[in-house]
Amino acid sequence: MYLNGNAIFVASEYRLEMDMTANDMMAEIRDANLSYLMLAQQMIRADKVTAIFRLGISADIADLIEGMSNAQILKLAGGNMMLARFRFDDSAILGMLTNYNKDRTLAQSHAAILMAGQGVEEIA
């Protein structure tokens, strides 16, 4: 296969663009993790019971997050995996939060009741 100079340049530029996108995505994940952990810790310190409910975490995880130092939070946030996840695995709940136009407050309340009935996610 013969590639002229322009084709090689385009191919290398495309690879660079893909790498930058992956790097940008990883930076965004780290930023989101840091924001999530800082917010979670603040919520837990302000009102642990409400934070456990709103974050969908166990009391053990809440205790761990509450006791983390800034250095520990930065280290945990620096990973390449999202720490937060969507709680609506059920499409009905997601539909209630996004599609109901008649009585939005009622739909959000109904979704909150359904999500409250879901068990706390355990880390395996």
Band of residue 35 on the pLDDT scale cut at 50, 70, 90? very high
- pLDDT tens readout for residues 63-88: 999 999 999 999 999 998 999 887 66
Q: What's the pLDDT at 67? A: 97
- Both 14 and 42 in one domain: the answer is yes
Tell me: pLDDT of 15 over 80: no
CA 122 to chain centre: 16
Question: How far, in Å, CA of 76 to CA of 69, rounded?
Answer: 11
Tell me: pLDDT of 121 over 60: no
Q: What is the mean pLDDT of the chain?
A: 78
Question: How far, in Å, CA of 78 to CA of 73, rounded?
Answer: 8
- Both 67 and 41 in one domain: the answer is yes
Containing domain of residue 124, as a range? 86-124
Q: And the tokens for 54? A: 């709103």
Q: What's the pLDDT at 47? A: 97
- Both 106 and 49 in one domain: the answer is no
Instruction: Report the domain count for the chain.
Output: 2
Tell me: pLDDT of 122 over 50: no
- Please report where in the chains the tokens 């800034």 appear, as a residue: 70
Q: Which residue has the higher pLDDT, 27 or 103?
A: 27
Question: How far, in Å, CA of 111 to CA of 13, rounded?
Answer: 46
CA 4 to chain centre: 44
Question: How far, in Å, CA of 71 to CA of 5, rounded?
Answer: 48
What is the CB-side half-sphere exposure of residue 98 using CA atoms within 13 A?
7
- Please report where in the chains the tokens 């390449």 appear, as a residue: 80
- Both 70 and 103 in one domain: the answer is no
pTM here is 0.64
- Both 22 and 41 in one domain: the answer is yes
